Amino acid sequence: MGVRMLCQHCRQSIEVSDAGSGGGSPRQPSRRHGHGPAMGESFVVLPQSLSQQPGGTALPAVQGELPRGGGQVLNATSMHEQLRTVGRLLELAEVCEDVECGVPLCEDCASGTLRELQRKLEEAHAEREAMERAFADLEAGDEDVGEDGLLSEADFEREVQVMKREEGELRAALETARREREALQQEAERLRGERLAQEGEEERRHAALNALELRRQEEADELMRQAQLVAHCEAELQRLGRVNVYNDVFHIWHDGAFGTISGLRLGRMPGVTVDWAEINAALGQVVLLVHTLAKAHGVAFSQHGLVPMGSFSRVYRLDEPRAMHELYGSGSAQLGRLFGSGRFDRGLTMLLQCVRELLAHAASRPRAGVSAQPPHPIEEDCVGGLSVRLQFNQEERWTAAFKYLLQDLKWLLTWHAAG
């Protein structure tokens, strides 16, 4: 009869049949679980290449085969040899660390076990060859050593001398390195000092550059301010050049029937009270204007000279410089003066002659935008046909004559401004 067991590796079912009738002989497993082809009735089969143990001991081959009918005695080696073979297989299975396979083993597990053993055997042979080569190299290297493994005294002395020379060279190299290190430290200190000096010099240079930059900016600002000031002065000069100073100082206008200069009325009208102080001040402005224009244009009067003294101006003949004629009147004038025989009237006539010469000078030099002739001609003591002599009950004509005179002076100012 057969007994069904499990493989200790793959846990597949196998059947082990009896080896003899006595029941004391071992059972041989047979694979009946239907996976892969059956190997007959053998217990285990080892290839011839793995019949040697790792230590070199040959394994006896199993040469028996159970008969197909079962129940017959084996025709191979004795049962004792078979048991020894199985025991050795078990020992080999225990040596394998990666494959844990017990007994009984199926065909696949036995093949895997044998392959692993073959690999271990090859590795052992390779390690043995490597060890043999290493021992051979060591033996070849020790050939120069004496038979007792010690150097001779001469060789020992030579080795000592060589080591002393090497030691001396190393000490000299060490001393040289120490001196070089000290030299490098000194050089580093010197360079550090130079660096500090350079940093100080750099700071001073930066401070100087900053001071120069500030000075440059201040000078640029001052230059800009001066340029702006020059531009302002030029613009102001151009504006002032367009301003007629004489028109501002000697403003000639009219106030009804009166002609005015600098706001002062010149003349007298019935029913209108004009003080002689105002009239005298207006005549002083006229004298100063004629004298200033004549001096500005280089005109020298041929017969008379003017003495501008404000409200007390005078005029004189050039041939009689001491004979002064007043150009101012008074409320206490004599009756003869009122009829034109006084020094005041003669002074007004002399003033008209100076104005006529100045007008003739301007008319001889025409300018653009100005008429060629003054509006009112002057003849002797008349302006525009009206006499400047003060006569009784002729205040209106006397005032009109002064108004014409102021108009001629206004024309003269316009001519002067056009130049």
Instruction: Give the whole-angstrom CA distance, residue 58 versus residue 110.
Output: 18
Q: What's the pLDDT score for residue 343?
A: 86
Q: What's the pLDDT score for residue 32?
A: 41
**Taking Cα atoms as reference points, which of 260, 302, 300, 304 lies closest to residue 283?**
260
Give me the torsion for CA of 142, 145, 150, 153, rounded to 10°. -150
Q: Which residues pair with 17 in a beta bridge?
A: 2, 28
Q: What's the pLDDT score for residue 137?
A: 80
pLDDT in tens, the chain (419 residues): 455 666 766 777 666 554 444 444 444 444 444 444 333 333 444 444 444 444 444 444 433 444 444 443 444 445 566 666 666 666 665 554 444 444 567 778 888 888 888 899 999 989 899 888 888 887 776 555 555 556 688 888 899 999 999 999 999 999 999 999 999 999 999 999 999 999 999 999 999 999 999 999 999 999 999 999 999 999 998 888 777 788 888 899 988 889 999 999 998 888 888 899 999 999 999 999 999 999 999 999 999 999 999 999 999 999 988 889 999 887 654 444 444 447 888 999 999 999 999 999 999 999 888 898 999 999 988 999 898 888 777 888 999 999 999 999 999 999 988 87
Q: What's the pLDDT score for residue 110?
A: 80
Question: Which SS3 state, helix, strand or coil, does residue 266 take?
Answer: strand
pTM of the model: 0.46
Q: What's the pLDDT score for residue 85?
A: 67
Instruction: Give the whole-angstrom CA distance, residue 305 versus residue 291.
Output: 9
Find out whether 279 and 262 touch, Cβ atoms under 8 Å.
Answer: no
Q: For the chain, how long is the longest CA-to-CA vector?
A: 207
**Taking Cα atoms as reference points, which of 69, 82, 78 lies closest to residue 40?**
69
Q: Which CATH architecture has domain 245-417?
A: Orthogonal Bundle (1.10)
Instruction: Give the whole-angstrom CA distance, residue 148 versus residue 69.
Output: 74
Q: What's the pLDDT score for residue 240?
A: 80
What b-and-e string marks burial along 129-156, b requiring 16 or more CB atoms within 10 Å of the CB?
A: eeeeeeeeeeeeeeeeeeeeeeeeeeee
Query: How many CB atoms sit inside 10 A of residue 401's CB?
Result: 26
Q: What's the pLDDT score for residue 270?
A: 85
| Number of residues assigned to the chain | 419
In the block, tokens 């200069």 appear at: 261
Phi, psi dihedrals of residue 387, rounded to the nearest 5°: -85, 150
Q: Is the peptide bond before 366 cis (omega within 30 degrees of 0)?
A: no
For 335, the token pair is: 């009756």
Q: What's the pLDDT score for residue 113?
A: 84
